[in-house]
Amino acid sequence: MSNNIILIDCPDEKGLVYNITKIVYDYGLNIISNQEFVDIGSNYFFMRTVVENNGLDQTFKNKLLDVLPEGANVRLASIEKKPIVILATKEPHCLGDLLLKNIHGEIPSDVRAVVSNHDNLQTLANSFNVPFHHISSNGVSREDHEERLKNCIDQYSPDYLVLAKYMRIFTPDFVSSYQNRIINIHHSFLPAFAGASPYKKAYERGVKIIGATSHFVTNDLDEGPIIAQNVIPINHTYTADGMTQAGRDVEKNVLSNALKLVLEEKVFIYKNRTVLFE
């Protein structure tokens, strides 16, 4: 028997948990875990419930919608590996970490392919028996390059795209094609030092911590809903290059943690924020 996940978000009102769990009980489902949260400022409710069941159907979903407020969102998900495509450029640390955790089952992912605008990481991808596609951006327009990217990516039908240090900015059309499905790692503790050369900016500012931020990609550069962040302490002896080297471990760990949360259906996107059930 497999486990399934019930994901609900809606305006808050009295009796929500009772109404939801009564339907779960009436269906004879066993609750494995349950987490709830109400955003007090907006009076909005979130709930993630794991049940032991062989599969939930549309009828079950409709019964939930019948007892929930207008505008409620109900999603039924299963706990299983989900297909992803990783985009990278030249830096190997985030890609290598994801491929290693993928093959050892530390993340519920099925890496279908690695796509890059350079060929530097082909040997790394091939060592994990993952298809590698080099799609150069040289000599073509951004739109033409992205069309080639989409044609390559879509043949793998990924649930998510993961940017493992993919150093290009997407057009709005590309982002809209994968809305809320592109996960990025930024080598800075956003919103500080957004954009290019954040470690150089951090060095010039004399910061005493450096970090990394993983977020969903939107059309606002480095301002999408934040999934995970972390920092490490540094001091005045660090150069900009030293900060960069120290930051790589933070980057790869934050990215893999964010991806794990998303693939385990523990992330709700709400406005430009996230609600996480860790």
Q: Each residue of 227-267: pLDDT tens digit?
A: 999 988 988 888 888 888 888 889 999 999 999 999 999 99
Asked if residues 34 and 47 have their Cβ atoms less than 8 Å apart, the reply is yes
User: Where in the sequence is the domain holding 130, given as residue range(s)?
Assistant: 82-276
Tokens linked to 106: 């530390």
Q: Name the DSSP letter for residue 264.
A: T
What angle (nearest 5°) sits at the alpha carbon of residue 136, between those of residues 143 and 147? Answer: 30
Residue count (the chain): 278
Same domain membership, residue 244 and residue 118: yes
Q: Name the DSSP letter for residue 240.
A: H
- 240: closest CA among 178, 187, 191? 187
Same domain membership, residue 223 and residue 116: yes
CA distance 164 to 182: 11
Q: What is the CATH number of the domain that holds 228?
A: 3.40.50.170
Same domain membership, residue 138 and residue 16: no
How would you class 252 by CB atoms within 10 Å of its CB: exposed for 0-12, middle for 13-18, buried for 19 or more? buried
Same domain membership, residue 129 and residue 86: yes
Same domain membership, residue 102 and residue 181: yes
Same domain membership, residue 219 and residue 143: yes
pLDDT at 147: 97
CA distance 225 to 215: 5
CB under 8 Å to 157, separation ≥6 — which residues? 83, 112
Same domain membership, residue 88 and residue 171: yes
Which one of 59, 78, 97 terminates a domain?
78
Same domain membership, residue 120 and residue 173: yes
Which one of 61, 78, 95 terminates a domain?
78
CB under 8 Å to 118, separation ≥6 — which residues? 89, 90, 134, 136
Q: Which residue has the tokens 């494995």?
A: 32
Q: What is the CATH number of the domain that holds 28?
A: 3.30.70.260
Same domain membership, residue 268 and residue 243: yes
pLDDT at 239: 85
What angle (nearest 5°) sits at the alpha carbon of residue 272, between those of residues 266 and 274? Answer: 15
Give the number of C-alpha atoms closer than 13 A to the C-alpha of residue 172, restricted to the C-beta side: 2
Which residue is catalytic, options 26, 222, 241, 249? Answer: 222
CA 186 to chain centre: 13
Tokens linked to 260: 């794990």
DSSP string, 142-202: HHHHHHHHHHHHHTT--SEEEEES---PPPHHHHHHTTT-EEEEESS-TTTT-SS-HHHHH
Asked if residues 123 and 152 have their Cβ atoms less than 8 Å apart, the reply is no
pLDDT at 54: 66
Same domain membership, residue 271 and residue 209: yes
What's the total number of domains in the chain? Answer: 2
pLDDT tens-place string over residues 131-152: 999 999 999 999 999 999 999 9
In this prediction, the residues of the chain whose per-residue pLDDT falls under 70 are 1-2, 54, 188-196
pLDDT at 196: 67
Same domain membership, residue 131 and residue 46: no
Which one of 57, 78, 99 terminates a domain?
78
User: pLDDT exceeding 90 applies to what percent of the chain?
Assistant: 76
pLDDT at 253: 95
Same domain membership, residue 93 and residue 66: no
- 99: closest CA among 76, 128, 70, 121? 128
Q: Quick check: is 222 catalytic?
A: yes
